[in-house]
Amino acid sequence: MFVRQDVWRLSSDEPWHPVLLWYGRAVRRMQERNGTDFSDPTCWQHLAEAHGTAIARGQWPAGALWNECEHGGWFFLPWHRMYLYHFERIARAAVVELGGPSDWALPYWNYSDPSQPEARKLPPAFKAVATPDGEQNPLFVQERDPNINLGSDMNELAVDTSAALAEIRFAGSMVTPSFGGGQSNRAHTGGLPGTLEVVPHGAVHMEVGGGSGWMSAFDTAARDPIFWLHHANLDRLWEAWLLLAGRENPAPAQWLDQRFKLGSGSWVTALTISDMLDTQAQPLDYRYDDVPAELVAEAAGGGPVIPPRGGTMDEQTPPELIGASAGSVPLGHGESSTEIDVRRPMGPLASADEEELLRIYLKLENVVGSRLAAGSYIVRLDLGGGAAASERPETRAGVVSLFGVRESSRADEDHPGSGLSFTLDVTDVAKELMRARGGSLDQIRVTFSPLAGVSPKETQPDVQVGGVKLFVA
Amino acid sequence: MMLVSSWTTSRLRMLEWRHPEWWIVVSSVAAWVVLLTIEPHILLARTPAISTGSQSLLGHMASEAALCLAMIVAMMLPLITWHGRFVALSSFWARRQRAIVEFVGGYIAVWMLASLMILAALHALYPLLGEQGTLVIAFGAAAVWQLIPAKRVALSHCHRTASLTARDRGTDIDCVRFGATIGHSCVAACWGLMAAVMSTHALIVMVLLFTVQLWERSHRRPNLRVSAAFITGVGSALLLLGLAGSEVPD
């Protein structure tokens, strides 16, 4: 069985650990196969374009399955699991071809590891311009946020896995947040992403890619060798989440029987999701060297370390709208905000016990734009203009990432052009505000502030949130 | 009796909560039933939809418009149940049904306009080409449209969403506009299929081409060459079996 190892544990012993050395050599070998039209299914660019591409369909090599990535829905995790498996097999074959170990496996980047002070930095082998033998380093790319390549930490909120791991359900709905994403048909973009897909997934993409780097766009992300280690970590977090009490994968055949296909010629991978649920069984045959210690403790019977949230309400009893913004909200270099008048629920939830049953969700709809001032935004709630300053405990509700906003705002045959949408579970924050107001909530203000600016900066950002809505479930 | 009534009320309330878009599906089923029961002969043979027969022109146009409406409700509404649900859940509780009605109204209005234009085109072709010639043109156009990139773009746009105003007077307009927007994308994607159906008015053709629509919507990147071949096959079968051009028994 192949074992995927933590890149920072490898790097802290040896910046150019053999696993990374051979990864670099395999990347170079795959890049040498690029040719002019990327028709070799084992070449670097062919594999990257399979995720997303800006190359016009008419110019694709025969049989290419490109622009296939799944975002904004419950196929995000399984599709990327297969994508990693497909890539890893090809990379391993390159390692073996070059005389390397036949048990080579892709490492993962655990940027959330609290025991590793350097975890939020790019691992050294990805920052070095040259390899130890003096050659150009294939793991280094210029097309990143310059600060990341200089050794800056990513923002700690960008790598915070607590909200994702706290989700109790894998699949959500049009409104309900979830770990793995909203139920939908296959879609390049357009649905509701799972909490993990937003943070750390999207946020890390934007922290590494910055304003115009490869990692910050669907169409170019997989060109950066760090992409694969980032997604290996997300795949590992899926495994970790399943260890927590009450968490399980979806059961509907619509999900389990969904088949994905990648590659062409002699390098084709075609699997259903049910083929990929046990990573330690054939055909995948891999495991991770570690899952977060607190999750292992919980799985061993130590009780819930990460309290589940989400309750039992789901798409069968859909949330009710109780407040909406009057219009769109720009996301620029500074803070922006909108106020929401909150109504009491009028449907069956009107009689629900607020303390025990109600979940409160904040939905950010149709975030569109092409010029970004920041990669991610912190979303805060407070009591709005009507409240005295003393009763305005501004509280952080979550982080949203703009990874993919450019592509999903584009109306073409792969994107409906609706942009990104997000739902945050703001129950705890909203209840705190309610307490501050003596038990009722008639108005809240939603504020967006950049997590960090992107570099290079856009002078005239055009990103806006189409609408902000508050739901109760 | 009161117990049954209470149970029914509770069930309906739960249905309304869980599936506010329920009546979109029910309307479609009803339209299929109406098409089958009012005009059972159209199962396999074409109605005299294009020739005016003994009816007055006004009466003929009215019956044609009614038939168009039934076809749109039967074939097209199932494609927007997701949108109906989206519109309902994006609206305050008291406005859920109104929002769906407005959305569906905007959608149907665009489709009705398009259907009447398609019908007018078929009327223009009929005297020149006859029934079989008209059918060949309609099915040919439907099959060729499947292969044109604009079809893929339109199909993608059918999946779009919008942030609907929820709290002021713009709400009604937003819902109608969103319905019209989706209707516009849907017409751009499926006008050819509708033309093929309207050239025969045979229920079996409606069913077959309806399945093509459902298949297209449920796949991320459907192989439209397959659906083009299927449409060509259906048209060819109609010609070979002599269903097109056969007179409807009274």
Nearest-by-Cβ selection for A418 from B17, B90, B161: B161
Q: How many residues does chain B have?
A: 250
pLDDT tier for residue A387 given thresholds of 50, 70 and 90: low
State both tokens at B10.
């509770």
Chain A closest-CA separation from residue B71 CA (Å): 26
A378, A369 in Cβ contact below 8 A? no
At B248, the amino acid letter reads: V
Beta-carbon separation of A411 and B153 below 8 A? yes
Per DSSP, the residues of B113-126 read HHHHHHHHHHHHHH
How many beta-carbon pairs below 8 A join chains A and B? 92
- pLDDT at residue B166, as a whole number: 85
**Element of type H or E holding A416:** none
pLDDT at position A311 over 60:
no
In B82-239, DSSP assigns E strands to: none
- pLDDT at residue B48, as a whole number: 43
State the average pLDDT over residues A445-470: 87
In A389-473, DSSP assigns E strands to: 395-401, 420-425, 443-450, 464-472
Q: Which residues of B touch A414 (CB under 8 A)?
A: 156, 221
- The tens digit of pLDDT for each residue in A171-222 reads 998 899 999 999 887 655 458 999 999 999 999 999 999 988 999 999 999 9
Beta-carbon separation of A185 and B17 below 8 A? no
Residue A236 burial by Cβ neighbours in a 10 Å radius (0-12, 13-18, 19+): buried
A122, A229 in Cβ contact below 8 A? no
Among A47, A284, A319, residue whose Cα is nearest residue A175 = A319
The more confidently predicted of residues A323 and A293 is A323
- The tens digit of pLDDT for each residue in A115-154 reads 999 999 999 999 999 999 899 999 999 999 999 999 999 9
pLDDT at position A33 over 80:
yes
Beta-carbon separation of A467 and B166 below 8 A? yes
Nearest CA in chain A to B161: A418
Q: Which residues of B touch A469 (CB under 8 A)?
A: 90, 166
ipTM: 0.88
- The tens digit of pLDDT for each residue in A89-104 reads 999 999 999 999 999 9
In order along its 250 residues, chain B shows pLDDT tens digits of: 566 677 777 777 778 888 999 999 999 999 999 988 876 555 444 444 444 455 677 777 788 888 899 999 999 999 999 999 999 999 999 999 999 999 999 999 999 999 999 999 998 998 899 888 999 999 999 999 999 999 999 999 998 999 999 877 789 999 999 999 999 999 999 999 999 999 887 888 899 999 999 999 888 788 999 999 999 999 999 888 875 544 433 3
Distance CA A163, CA A425 (A): 9
Nearest CA in chain A to B158: A416
Residues 142 to 171 of B: which have CB under 8 A from any A CB?
Answer: 149, 152-153, 155-168
- pLDDT at residue A389, as a whole number: 46
State the average pLDDT over residues A357-385: 90
- pLDDT at residue A414, as a whole number: 80
- pLDDT at residue A103, as a whole number: 97
- The tens digit of pLDDT for each residue in A242-259 reads 999 889 999 999 999 999
pTM beyond cutoff 0.95: no
Q: Which residues of A touch B220 (CB under 8 A)?
A: 185-188
State the average pLDDT over residues A262-282: 95
Chain B closest-CA separation from residue A349 CA (Å): 10
pLDDT at position A406 over 80:
yes
Among B191, B47, B43, B6, residue whose Cα is nearest residue B112 = B191
The more confidently predicted of residues A417 and A270 is A270
Determine the 3-state secondary structure of A365 from DSSP: strand
Distance CA B208, CA B214 (A): 10
- pLDDT at residue B220, as a whole number: 78
Distance CA B178, CA A416 (A): 14
A167, A179 in Cβ contact below 8 A? yes
User: DSSP label at A198?
Assistant: I
Chain A closest-CA separation from residue B89 CA (Å): 7
Residue at token pair 């890619």? A209
Nearest-by-Cβ selection for B89 from A175, A413, A415: A175
- pLDDT at residue A293, as a whole number: 60
Distance CA A107, CA A28 (A): 17
The more confidently predicted of residues A61 and B245 is A61
Query: How many contiguous H segments (helices) and E segments (strands) does chain B have?
Result: 9, 0
Mean pLDDT of chain A: 89
